[in-house]
Structure 1
């Protein structure tokens, strides 16, 4: 019989986990609580930790996060989402933010009780990111503002203060560029495929159409047309095929015999010409043999004694000097957001790498000594022959090697965008 827990937060956490499974319509969903960033990977959902004190902010954040992730699990189809996903970074961020807003808006329509909880979650995130103090559009992320606007238009609910501030900074620009497209929001909200097309049109209106990539619907039409063309070719016989030749042969057997004889002669002539060419190559004098390819160039011509000429013009600037703490926190949160879908795989790979990098501890012993630790493995021979002296062993000193890992990240202009994000995630 299990001992009852003395943590007053456990009943709440258990009830919230069961309610989350019901809202997500997945009884096999695994709900856990962690200090790590909240998120969902497959059938595993991670919610913010609730302490023993169970403060009001902790409870509201846990409930809002649980409702938001449950709505995303219920209304989101990964295959459809991947089919219409853009290829560019900004376009993909806009696409992801609008899809998240769609799932939360669908939850607010079907289960109105989730709307207030998700509002509390959005308000806590906006406060943590410092959105209340932003006064310029350049400081407010466009994808976040677009997601807030989609949720506001779909539900009609006012947003928390910080989120509303970000939305209003970009609202004029978004409605000016994509106002006509946004009028069709209600018609596409319940159909993820239609909403994905709607989101791609909004992204195009905002000026990021070059990051959308190929139209997935056009690709499907081309594949279907190609399949139909291939089927028609298989069903229709070739007008110049074997059937016509067989009919001609039956109608005029003498002409067919002449054609076979001509083709046989042509085959013989071709073989003779090939033999002559091979003979010429075989009898080629040794002096006229084909030239061998030149040897490959050396891998490097650098001087092994090369040293830096002068470090006088080198400059080192700390990240704190290039951006204020609020900006660094915002960038860190953006990186955590990109890391969230890969958190499970990254954790497993990190543990695997840690085991590989650990120094091997090979223990060794010296046996058959006159003093030390009694060797229990050799007591049997003492029992068999009492005159045999006792055997002792001593552990041999082993010098363990330390492991040093150095990461060098290229942050040049060619790494801008997704490459540097992947490098940061790996680090």
Structure 2
């Protein structure tokens, strides 16, 4: 049978379009499945709505769609990751409080979403048997913290099973973190401020050793490294200046030596020129009429035997 004849299809299409509008994301992918609902960076997966379109199916689909769409609209993954604690319990509390924040902010702007999400919370509480829990130690603290944040922020009563879990832990939470919770409404619409608020609540509840380093605190190692780099640059500049000075001195010395060599060469040339002038002067001072003496002629060549010796008897 085609989808056109499925009475649930018009509702599913309308809910998908409403979810895109609520999330302020026209490209949001909305699917329906018998698998557990969930969300990713691409879209959301909602509970299946059958042809029967029972009241519970419709209310659960609406509540899940509104919860995911509000998370999509008011939540930033980068901010969430920046402040996310490292320990498991601390992270569970942090996650539950952030879900509650997004739903509470949406309820302030669009009150109709609150009643839809109540059905989602009631369904989860029923499936997990929260109404039957009698001791706080049997109830999840993180879930209770999220419920309490939603209750305090919206002023709405929680569904039966959820209220039971919240009330089991409420005395402990308010005793340990009551002073911090007083600031809840001041930080609700600012995710970064709320993340810091959540980390403080987690610390108040005794899990401060799981929150990790404060991302807003400057790393002293980075400052030390920056100072070392700056000092190294200064030393390098000083060395360069010293080297430039030495090169300049060497250049000046070389120039002086070159000038001295040129002066010596010039002086030597002057001395040679003076000597030449003196010789020329001597020739010019010969007496008039007296010719310059010629060198004596060479001895005549003898025809005698070169080995001849004078005989002496």
**Shorter-normalised TM-score: what interval?**
0.7 to 0.9
Partner of 1:45: 44
- Per the alignment, residue 146 of structure 1 pairs with 145
TM-score, normalising length from structure 2? 0.75
For 1:197 and 1:120, the matched residues in 2 are separated by 30
Distance, in Å, in 2 between the alignment partners of 1:226 and 1:22 is 49
The CA deviation at 1:55 is 1.1
Unaligned runs of 5+ in 2: 255-313
Q: Which residue pairs with 2:107 in the alignment?
A: 108
For residues 166-204 of structure 1, give each alpha carbon's deviation from its aligned partner in whole angstroms, at most 9, with x where no partner exists. Answer: 000000000111111111111111111111111111111
**2:231 maps to 1:242:** no
Deviations 1:217-268 (A, max 9, x none): 1256865x46864785587564641212332554588999xxxxxxxxxxxx
Q: Using a 3 Å threshold, how does the CA distance of structure 1 residues 89 and 255 change in structure 2: closer, same or farther? A: farther
> What corresponds to 2:206 in structure 1?
207
Mapped to 2, the partners of 1:109 and 1:234 lie a distance apart of 56
How many residue pairs are counted as aligned between the two chains? 254
> What does residue 127 of structure 1 align with?
126
Contact 1:249–1:255 at 8 Å: present in 2 too?
Answer: no
CA–CA distance in structure 2, aligned partners of residues 21 and 254 of structure 1: 79
Distance 1:214-1:238 versus aligned 2 partners, 3 A rule: same
Q: Show the counterpart of 2:93.
A: 94
Relative to its length, the structure with more helix (as a share) is 2
Go from structure 1 to structure 2 and tell me whether the alpha carbon gap of 1:252 and 1:30 turns closer, same or farther (over 3 Å shift).
closer
Deviation at 1:216, TM superposition (A): 1.3
8 Å Cα contact 1:35-1:49 kept in structure 2? yes
Q: Cα 1:249–1:68, aligned 2, differ >3 Å: closer, same or farther?
A: same
The 3 A distance-change label for structure 1 pair 231 and 186 is farther
Aligned to 1:298: none
In 2 relative to 1, CA 60–4 (structure 1 residues): closer, same or farther, beyond 3 Å? closer
* Distance verdict in 2 for CA 1:251–1:17, change over 3 Å: same
Runs of 4 or more consecutive aligned structure 1 residues displaced over 6 Å after TM superposition: 252-256
TM-score normalised by length of structure 1:
0.56
SS of equivalent residue, structure 1 residue 92:
helix
User: What is the CA deviation profile of residues 346-389 of structure 1, one whole-angstrom value per residue up to 9, with x for unaligned ones?
Assistant: xxxxxxxxxxxxxxxxxxxxxxxxxxxxxxxxxxxxxxxxxxxx
Distance in 2 between the 1:21 and 1:227 partners?
47
Distance 1:163 1:238 in 2: 66
Match of 2:258 in 1: none
Aligned runs of 1:212-361 on 2, under 5 Å?
Answer: 212-219=211-218, 223=222, 225=223, 229=227, 238=236, 240-248=238-246, 250-251=248-249
Q: Answer whether contact 2:93 2:142 (CA < 8 A) is retained.
A: yes
**Residue 87 of structure 2 corresponds to residue 85 of structure 1:** no
Aligned partners of 1:10, 1:82: CA distance in 2, in Å? 37
Taking structure 1 as reference, are residues 116 and 234 closer, same or farther at Cα in structure 2, changes over 3 Å only? farther
1:115 Cα shift? 0.6
CA distance in 2, matches of 1:123, 1:4: 30
Q: Distance in 2 between matches of 1:77 and 1:221?
A: 28
Q: Residues 234 and 28 (structure 1 numbering): CA distance in 2 closer, same or farther, change over 3 Å? A: farther
Q: Distance in 2 between matches of 1:216 and 1:191?
A: 16
Q: Which residue of 1 aligns with 2:53?
A: 54
CA contact (8 A) 2:122 2:160 kept: yes
Do 2:101 and 2:188's aligned partners in 1 also have CA atoms closer than 8 Å?
A: yes
Q: Is the 8 A contact 1:30 1:45 kept in 2?
A: yes
Partner of 1:162 in structure 2? 161
Which of structures 1 and 2 has the bigger CA Rg? 2
Q: Secondary structure at the match of 2:45?
A: strand
Distance 1:109-1:53 versus aligned 2 partners, 3 A rule: same
**Could you say which structure has the greater relative contact order, defined with CA pairs below 8 angstroms and 6 or more residues apart?**
2
